[in-house]
Chains A and B, each alone.
Chain A
């Protein structure tokens, strides 16, 4: 079966081919042809990913991994990263999600992006993104991973600023690129450290060699793990680098679904799961990850409560959900984190796509207060959105999100690295999630219609929505908790690549109790959202004085932008403005000026006036004599 796994290189190569064709000849093609190439290449990629997955499952290669080397990138002084791909359960799951969800989103955008210019450019960028993302997850060494890592950042930049004529979009794109670059640079420094310590960036070599080279808890291990974490924080929009993601919603909705919800923003989760050995060696950093996850999910959850732009709500909720994944990684529950990524990819891309359909239908209306009554008018969008919302709010039993999220909440308490505080944060976050999610559902689909529908979505939009909707309900059944019979093929599959979570000694009854509380509060959140929706006066009574200031504070994402703007951006701009002409220049200019001045002075002495000359001779003689006599 090796020959089927040999197709691995085609996964990124096909979208790359699509990108090249569209980038070079795109302007000459008809829209039909563009969509055919753009969607087709990703579709074939998805198909190959599924075939590879089946072949992997039926004929698992020895050592649970398979690698394919294309060529040696370079070889300098024994340091030789290669262009080679590495397939194991972790990368397989990511590949599947990237190509499959990517394909559905491409399909969807074939219709939703049809209006307006730049159809070829759009698909070119999207294909390039899929290619870069696949390079990222398939890379067998960190340098190649970094290539994919920067590649997805680039595509994110290009697609956020897709409607480039608006200065605001350009600013949002720039912000996303620069903020993530800060994290990327930390990661790059981390790579230098790894090169210095190991002489290689090959993932497998580092993971097997690290315990022998770095001792548990040593400062080297700390810095190595910490610097890589920096990269993950930037890419995954975690505290304190989360500020770029809400603005990134300036891009088209399918872009938000693909890049800023399903795939790219989870690259940080992938990186940490991939390099898990380093985090085992640096327990302090691992604890930091859990804390960052908890803090982020609370911060973002509260901000999501206050937003009115439907995409911004979803953006904050993405930050918050990735916070859950980080929390899982931080308490050592790697496979739970990846499981939540897997489920989240379905329901969050679904939510973005249905929100996109709503926005499209209402003529580019983003404000949920101006929507309403769409339940009857757009039943498909309503039901799929509801499925996605249910999964996001983790409504018990019927939604996939319930299984993935409750697993994390449970491990936040029960893992030997967990604590009651982490559990409280995770639990509180889940409660808030269900409130803001259903606030959004009620405002958008219930009540009276406030804006006319100007566009009715066709099949190319509906079918991807339905597929994702079904997955948001049933995908959770691949991993059932222990009390439901412990059917967990997903984590068993992953545990060949990632260590299983180690539990503290907790009584079984605790799990049942905590779980019950969770379920009750998730439903309670829906009820509260309904109450606030029905009685707007409840809300306005809270919106006075301190309450108003607080809600403003939350609305602006806890004022992070304001702080960064004043601490970093403005001083830098100010500094470069005052020194635009370069102060060094003035020094050289001064030398030149001094010479000119001296020239003028000496020029003056040559005035043809005999008295001056005599005086000069006399003074010179006196000075000379003085020097001779006294020195």
Chain B
């Protein structure tokens, strides 16, 4: 954020702008990554529901709103991912000449700040503030630096997400007043609101308010209409952030707010949510298959993969929750990489129409090889990150909703088909045009190389991430009644639990609210977060 303001001041000097942007994001990234590595041993042994860091400052005491930031393993992972993709997003525009370069980087940095704020806020008012903060720079990025049809795309994006956001605001306010009236303590604080007693019917409506914002952002069928336009028209770095990060804020919101605040209501709508998720997977894949514009195609694959996230969240198993977190990371990396590739191709031949491509392998073997890796990641090849994530999600879902999990698995066949379309139409086959295209530069190779290392790392050694998010994911289990015994060493014993309900749906939790405990906040020696708040 500081960097953003600086780059506005220095807008007359484009070189300085991009260096400031890069340094701001990179410094933050290194800080968080180092923090993660140093404290990894502590984090992975934390108790369930423990927080790594917790900072609270008065903001608007009259309303009960405060600067309440806190971080647990889930936030930490998302923050690191945000900053990593942030670096990528800054670097892909490195060599491009951009109009109003200072304002561009200002928007990028504000956008990242908004995303980080969303991942760290524990005050609902503050959360909403950051949620909206993401929207405006994104709108500018699309409408100023986008491609030909940028204006309708930007307006559409704005209307859809704003519509969802307003519903969430209403729900937040309603929750605020209900809690205030019941306890006399008017506050937006997450921990205070967790214990709110709400009648099941009201809880359902409140939850739907939150859900509205999240399903639009994710997006899920049938709220995906803004997605292809916004993803396609936005410039590359915007698309990376949009697809890689903004959709993750929605998934994060569900994990952080919907499940803990309204566990019973979430259980109630779970079957519908899973059905919607399955429809998203299959319908998104089908639309992706039909596209000839490369970016549109990748945009729809994103929708298809987001379906897995919603399926996983509403299946209420630890396997699936861990899978969801990993899918968020893996998908962020994969989709980011695919959009970098799409952007690189567009920069070189000024078209995204795949009918004009073909047989590029002989000209650009490096790009071909790298694309192959990410196409394979996207179709779920084992040893790459997405496979572990999707396996866990489907495997967890299978325990709750057998038939729907089977349907969702069909998405794997579909993902294979559209992924091969990407690879083969661009790089294989005869050369359909006389287009000359140059291979990746060293800078691009380095970007892609680091993305490849990460995708293999989370595919082969995902345990680091699982350990980090174990405390927050573990606590989700106490919010919602779990159907599967956790940490069960004896396989046979596990089986007894499940064998009773196989093939049908597991008995669901009866409605009615559980009273939530307020969790003791653990405070570590941690100062960096202050800087980000400013």
Q: Which residues of A contact B (CB under 8 A)?
A: 23, 27, 71-79, 83, 117, 143, 146-147, 150-151, 154, 161, 164-167, 170, 174, 177-178, 181-182, 185, 188-189, 191-193, 195-200, 205, 209, 212-213, 219-220, 575-577, 579-580, 582, 584-585, 587-588
Contact = CB atoms under 8 A, between A and B. Distances in A.
B214 to A, nearest CB: 18
Nearest to B322: A76
Given A78-B487, A185-B413, A584-B225, A213 B463 contact: no
Contacts, number: 157
A164 B484 contact: no
A72 B502 CA distance: 29
Given A151-B383, A582-B287, A174 B424 contact: yes
B150 interface: no
A22 to B, nearest CB: 11
Given A71-B461, A74-B388, A178-B417, A577 B290 contact: yes
A177 B416 contact: yes
Contacts of A174: 420, 424
Given A146-B382, A192-B398, A165 B221 contact: no
Which 9 A-B pairs rank lowest in CB-CB distance, beginning with the nearest?
A147-B382, A192-B398, A576-B290, A199-B494, A199-B491, A77-B318, A164-B428, A580-B290, A170-B428
Given A174-B424, A188-B409, A74 B466 contact: yes
Interface string B467-499: 000000000000000001011111110110011
A121 B457 CA distance: 24
Contacts of A212: 492
A205 to B, nearest CB: 6
A220 B486 contact: no
Interface string B150-170: 000000000000000000000
Contacts of A78: 486-489, 494
Interface in B366-394: 369, 376, 381-383, 387-388, 391-392, 394
Interface in B288-324: 289-291, 317-319, 322-323
Contacts of B12: none
Contact of B394 (A74, A79, A167, A192): A192
B195 interface: no
B349 interface: no
B361 interface: yes
B200 interface: no
A181 B412 contact: yes
Contacts of A71: 461
A77 B495 CA distance: 14
Contact of B413 (A154, A178, A580): A178
Nearest to A161: B428
Contacts of A205: 491
Indicate the member of B462, B466, B494 with the most A CB atoms within 10 Å. B494
Contacts of B359: 164-165
Indicate the member of B381, B417, B430, B491 with the most A CB atoms within 10 Å. B491
Nearest to B397: A192
Indicate the member of B228, B290, B417, B466 with the most A CB atoms within 10 Å. B290
A79 B394 CA distance: 14
Contact of B498 (A161, A185, A196): A196
Indicate the member of A146, A170, A197 with the most B CB atoms within 10 Å. A170
A77 B486 contact: yes
A6 to B, nearest CB: 21
A177 B380 CA distance: 13
A530 B503 CA distance: 58
B491 A584 contact: no
Contact of A192 (B395, B431, B492): B395
Given A74-B466, A200-B491, A580-B290, A189 B409 contact: yes
B318 A197 contact: no
A69 to B, nearest CB: 14
A179 to B, nearest CB: 10
A76 B382 contact: no
Contacts of B222: 584, 587
B427 interface: yes
A76 B392 contact: yes
A421 B448 CA distance: 58
B527 to A, nearest CB: 33
B217 interface: no
Nearest to B414: A572
Nearest to A149: B382
A27 B463 contact: no
A446 to B, nearest CB: 39
Contacts of A580: 287, 290-291
Interface string B410-436: 101100110010001001111100000
B406 interface: yes
A74 B462 contact: yes
B361 A164 contact: yes
A341 B61 CA distance: 77
A82 to B, nearest CB: 10
A220 B491 contact: no
Contact of B381 (A117, A154, A189, A579): A154
Contacts of B499: 197, 213
A185 B410 contact: yes
Contacts of A147: 382-383, 387
B286 A76 contact: no
A129 to B, nearest CB: 14
B512 interface: no
A218 to B, nearest CB: 10
Given A77-B486, A199-B491, A576-B286, A582 B420 contact: no
Nearest to B420: A174
B206 interface: no
A151 B417 CA distance: 17
B382 A196 contact: no
A205 B492 CA distance: 10
B463 A579 contact: no
Contacts of B488: 77-78, 199
Contacts of A170: 424, 428-429
Contacts of A117: 362
Contacts of B416: 177-178, 181
Contacts of A200: 491
Interface string B83-113: 0000000000000000000000000000000
Interface in B304-346: 317-319, 322-323
Contacts of B429: 164-167, 170
Indicate the member of A167, A192, A209, A588 with the most B CB atoms within 10 Å. A192
